[in-house]
Amino acid sequence: MVLSFPSVSEIRRYERIEIELPCRLYVPGAHDALQFEAFCTSRNLGLGGTFVASSFLLREGLELYIELSLPEGPLSIRSRVAHTVAIDDPELTTGMGIEFLDVDAHGRETLLRYFTPLRYHKFYEGFVEEFPHLKKSVALRDVSLVLNLWEEWKIRNEGGPPSTSSGAPDAPLRHPRPSPPAPQPPPRTARGSRRG
């Protein structure tokens, strides 16, 4: 039996962060009119797409624009509906996986700055602990940009695709599984007493 493991580029491509962002989905029409417009919420974000929770589903393959409401301002990206999760799915959140198709240079920089996995937060905490005087001049978003570009450079040197290649993340679980209870310490006995 041969075991195959995903490459670093595959892991990176489908990496995501759990985040809720207001989103606007729209399909432009003629003469600056809209054929379709709806508002929903992202549940996770990858560099190649996002999953949006919604009470409606659009046809898989439909091209549209998604506008992410980021703190720095809205970011609009040409995208397509990659997959959907029906309302009767007992495990997964109802909604759509939106795959980014065309991310311009500004959008790519914004995504690379905004995409901060937990390991980046930990790195940043250690960084500002060691160099506290740099906290004001080096923001987490700047560190994220550099770390994302570094990881992308390593993948490209392996022959892999950029991490902003298309790819919609999977749907999150409808109800996150509860964490197992913490193990309880064994009962303590009074010194010198015998049990049994």
Token pair recorded at residue 58: 């659009």
133 class by beta-carbon count within 10 Å (0-12 exposed, 13-18 middle, 19+ buried): exposed
Number of domains in the chain: 1
68 class by beta-carbon count within 10 Å (0-12 exposed, 13-18 middle, 19+ buried): buried
pLDDT greater than 60 at residue 171: yes
Q: Which string of DSSP letters, residue by residue, matches 22-33?
A: EEEEEEE-GGG-
What pLDDT sits at residue 90?
86
Token pair recorded at residue 53: 């929770």
149 lies in which domain range? 15-157
* DSSP state for residue 173 in the 8-state scheme: B
**What would the 3-class secondary structure string for 65-86 be?**
EEEEEECCEEEEEEEEEEEEEC
Helices (H), the chain: 8-13, 105-114, 118-130, 140-157
* Residue 106 placed within a domain: yes
- What global pTM score does this model have? 0.73
pLDDT greater than 70 at residue 73: yes
- What's the CATH number where 93 sits? 2.40.10.220
* Residue 178 placed within a domain: no
* Residue 29 placed within a domain: yes
* Residue 25 placed within a domain: yes
* Residue 40 placed within a domain: yes
pLDDT greater than 80 at residue 87: yes
**Nearest residue to 108 via CA among 138, 144, 55:** 144
* Residue 182 placed within a domain: no
How confident is residue 80, by pLDDT bands cut at 50, 70 and 90? very high
* Residue 148 placed within a domain: yes
* Residue 79 placed within a domain: yes
Residue-wise pLDDT tens digits, 4-25: 444 444 545 557 888 899 999 9
Integer Cα distance of 70 and 33 in angstroms: 24
**Nearest residue to 64 via CA among 45, 49, 77:** 77
Residue, of 46 and 172, whose pLDDT is higher: 46
